Structure 1
Amino acid sequence: MRSRGRASRDNIRTGTDTHMSQQQQPEQQMQLKTHNSDSGPGIAADAAAAGAASAHQNGNDGSPGQGKGRGGAGVSAQLIGMVTNFGGIRFMVLMILCFQNSMFTVLRRYSLGVLKEDYSKHECLLLAEAMKMVFSAVMISRSLPRGDSATSRLSYVARKSSKMLFLAFMYGSMNILSFVALRNIGAGLFTIFAQLKILTTAMMSAIVLRRTYSSARWRALVSLMLGVLLFSEPIWNTDNRGKNVDGGSTLLGCGAVLIEVSLSGFASIYFEKVVKTDQEQMSIWERNFQLAMWSFPIYLGFILFEGGGKAGFLGGWSNTALMLSVLGAAGGLLVALSIKYGDSILKTLAVTGAILLSSLLDHYLLAGPLTPIMVIAGAQVVVAICNYTFDLTPVETKSAPSKAAADNKEMSPLVKQDSRV
């Protein structure tokens, strides 16, 4: 009798535990869904893909006895999500941008320095903008729901492109300022001033986006700027580095390049602000389509002004020039993606790393210079990039006081007076 009583109590406990475990499984599944849905914008698709892949891999068909497999699938889904999350995409985009910039620089050096090709630089840029516009239009049409018209969407995007018109105008102005600067000062002095883009980008980020960077990151940026300046020693360390171009004005040339580097920093921050915080949010492909659409007539105006290259309109083109246009279009798209998934300063770090990589490739492939000063400066650049990247101090963004808060602050004395009455 006692053994029968114990057996019945054990059966009751087993049934209760089974019932409780069946109730806990939906709760655990609901918690897992909630965790994946809270991953933030841009991560939900990656988390869903990772979960689907892990479920398919582990054979999650709901059959009994798969509890251990499901736990392994959940862990693997979280690990895959960590690898393919926002930070993973950002790292991948920045690395591709670095390699693209390096390949573009080396190929341009080979085209202009070795092959002595005389095609128009603005014609090359014009073709790159046309490629960007076509590629962005294809990506926009592919992202639309089934049944939506791509023509109507592109027409809407074109009508809402006034902010990208301002950005294209800034890029065109920077092109003109570079031309004016190089007409009045030498390439060495121009290169020295051009390194200020690193600091102007950070300063514009602090002013426009109201971001606060740690002192360690500011030191890393200054060290990065000095390292890039020393790395450019073969360019500016010439006999005529302090002389201006014949008939030119040093003051005018320096002023033009200073305005250009300031506009460069502001343009990067402006694009980041539009992409991330604009009230009318659009995809990165739509913003690229808008920018290319307005850049096209600007570069066309440059071509008409200069009368084509040395070989005339559409003259001197080659397979190398066509490849440069393809790389230029890819670079424009990668810059936009790096700003979307990172920020303007991380984009600057990737471009700076590309300077080192392209110089090494230039040295081993095209017999370019590689002096001991460049080696030391390159090490300084790498250390500065690591110091900035691995600084764990969070970047704080100060929110501007709203109008309602300001009104409440102004009305507070009246409220106090009424409360006393």
Structure 2
Amino acid sequence: MVARENVSLLFKLYCLLVMTLVAAAYTVALRYTRTVTTDMYFSTTAVCVTEVIKLLLSLVILAKETGSPSRLCNSLKENVIGSPKEMLKLSVPSLVYALQNNMAFVALSNLDAAVYQVTYQLKIPCTALCTVLMLNRSLSKLQWFSVFILCGGVVLVQYSPAEATRVQVEQNHLVGFGAVAVAVLCSGFAGVYFEKVLKSSDTSLWVRNIQMYISGIIVTLAGVFLTDGEAVIEKGFFYGYNYLVCFVIFLASVGGLYTSVVVKYTDNIMKGFSAAAAIVISTVASVLIFGLQITLTFSVGALLVCVSIYTYGLPRKDTTKIEIKEPSNNFSEKLISV
């Protein structure tokens, strides 16, 4: 019995480590790819490629879940080809997530990875508010207090004069914070909307993911040609891609899948530790790689955010406990889907 508990604890610590490293590595690597001055790739194509990979991974998992190719085909025929209303329903979060994922690129083109990592935690109060309004749930007084502290910490970070001295590309912090705000709103709404759709039927999570990713590919592909159409035709769809860009796409594609599995074996406290640790790692990496100059204001703000994330995930004694879930289609951290 003791040995089983030790194995369980080690597995949870392993999950915590991987979730933290994926979140931090994704943010830092994406920031780095947006600071180079030559052969800049099209962010819209990266988002589209990520959707394709997620769809393929979801198909593989659904095939394993159904057990045979014939059952897989029947499931797809019934839930994809034969369910236009459900496909239309899932096109809503697809559109919102497409906007969110592209906003992440805009934000990290104008903000340091550490500043983005801290500010993006506003997704917690945004998702909480959407959950209260859309799912009729409630938050404890401690959770509301944590939300207040988190917002205060983010405000301090935004007003911090911290600068990255080794980044030579032109940046606009106002545009960056605006992009984060849009991404946060999209994350909160789409996450709760997707959760509501999941709980409205017994349809498999992976079927829902496939429905959403098919719509997502259509939406993001349209975004490629509406935003960068002429340049893509002239230079090519994969212009500017290198091993680091592929690594970013890899993290975005499989990170959510891994998280969706390991979250079953962790809790809100561990997820809080993971988010706080990712902030610390991103900050250290920003200092070493981008020459970020940490100020007292930034340090206090980041500390408040880390504390609020931890206290928000503390267990509640009543039955109205809220559990925030963030689905897959987010280029950043996800709790459901691939």
Shift of 1:372: 2.8
Q: Report the AA paired with residue 271 of structure 1.
A: F
1:266-281 superposed matches below 5 A = 266-275=189-198, 277-279=199-201, 281=202
Residue number in structure 2 paired with 1:61: none
Unaligned runs of 5+ in 1: 1-74, 246-252, 399-421
**Residue of structure 2 in register with 1:167 after alignment:** 93
| Structure 2 partner of 1:118 | 40
- Report the alpha carbon displacement of residue 318 of structure 1 after superposing the two structures with TM: 1.0
Residue of structure 2 in register with 1:403 after alignment: none
CA contact (8 A) 1:178 1:257 kept: yes
Q: Which runs of 5+ in 2 are unaligned?
A: 165-170, 323-338
Equivalent in the alignment of 1:199: 125
The answer to whether the Cα contact below 8 Å between 1:93 and 1:338 also exists between their aligned partners in 2 is yes
Distance 1:311 1:291 in 2: 29
Residue by residue over 1:242-295, the C-alpha shift from the partner in whole angstroms, topping out at 9 and shown as x without a partner, is 9978xxxxxxx97x98666434311111122223x222x233322222222111
Structure with more contact order per residue of length (Cα contacts < 8 Å, sep ≥ 6): 2
Aligned mates of 1:383, 1:233 — CA distance in 2? 19
**Using a 3 Å threshold, how does the CA distance of structure 1 residues 176 and 122 change in structure 2: closer, same or farther?**
closer
Is residue 39–residue 239 contact of structure 2 (8 Å, CA) maintained in 1?
A: no
3-state DSSP class of the match of 1:149?
Answer: helix
Count of paired positions = 303
Report the CA distance between 1:134 and its aligned residue.
Answer: 0.8
Partner in structure 2 of residue 301 of structure 1:
222
RMSD, matched Cα: 4.3
CA distance in 2, matches of 1:286, 1:88: 32
Which of these residues, 138, 142, 154, is aligned with residue 76 of structure 2?
A: 154
Per-residue Cα deviation, 1:58-83 (whole angstroms, up to 9, x for no partner): xxxxxxxxxxxxxxxxx45xx73796
Distance 1:317 1:144, change over 3 A: same
**Are residue 290 (structure 1) and residue 211 (structure 2) matched?**
yes
Structure 2: distance between partners of 1:145 and 1:81: 32
Residue 253 of structure 2 corresponds to which residue in structure 1?
329
Q: Is the 8 A contact 2:268 2:314 kept in 1?
A: no
Structure-2 residue corresponding to 1:98: 20
SS at match of 1:293: helix
1:216 is matched with 142
Which residue identity does 1:354 align to in structure 2? Answer: A
User: Which residue number in structure 2 is paired with residue 109 of structure 1?
Assistant: 31
Q: CA separation of 1:136/1:278 partners in 2, compared to 1, >3 Å: closer, same or farther?
A: same
Residue 298 (structure 2) pairs with residue 377 (structure 1) = no
CA distance in 1, matches of 2:270, 2:90: 22
TM-score (norm 2): 0.71
**Are the aligned partners of 2:119 and 2:157 in contact in 1 as well (CA < 8 Å)?**
no
CA shift digits 1:26-81 (9 cap, x unpaired): xxxxxxxxxxxxxxxxxxxxxxxxxxxxxxxxxxxxxxxxxxxxxxxxx45xx737
Amino acid at match of 1:143: E
Q: Which has the larger radius of gyration?
A: 1
Equivalent residue for 2:292?
368
Q: Once the 2 structures are TM-superposed, how far is the Cα of residue 198 of structure 1 from its aligned partner?
A: 2.9
CA distance in 2, matches of 1:350, 1:125: 25
Q: What CA deviation, in whole Å up to 9, does each residue of 1:123-151 have, x standing for no partner?
A: 11111111111111111111223574322
Identity of counterpart residues, as a percentage?
Answer: 23
2:47, 2:220 within 8 Å by CA — same for their partners in 1? yes
**1:4-45 per-position Cα deviation (integer Å, ceiling 9, x unaligned):** xxxxxxxxxxxxxxxxxxxxxxxxxxxxxxxxxxxxxxxxxx
**Aligned counterparts of 1:346 and 1:202: Cα–Cα separation in 2:** 18
**TM-score, scaled to structure 1:** 0.58
Matches of 2:187 and 2:17 in 1, distance apart? 22
In 2, the alpha carbon distance for the partners of 1:201 and 1:94 equals 22
Deviation at 1:323, TM superposition (A): 1.2
1:28 corresponds in structure 2 to none
- How far the C-alpha of 1:353 sits from its partner, in A, is 4.9
The alpha-carbon distance between structure 1 residues 177 and 96, as it changes in their structure 2 partners (threshold 3 A), is closer
Partner AA of 1:267 in structure 2:
A
Which string of whole-angstrom CA distances, capped at 9 and with x for unpartnered residues, describes residues 83-142 of structure 1? 65xx99888656533321211111122222257540111111111111111111111111
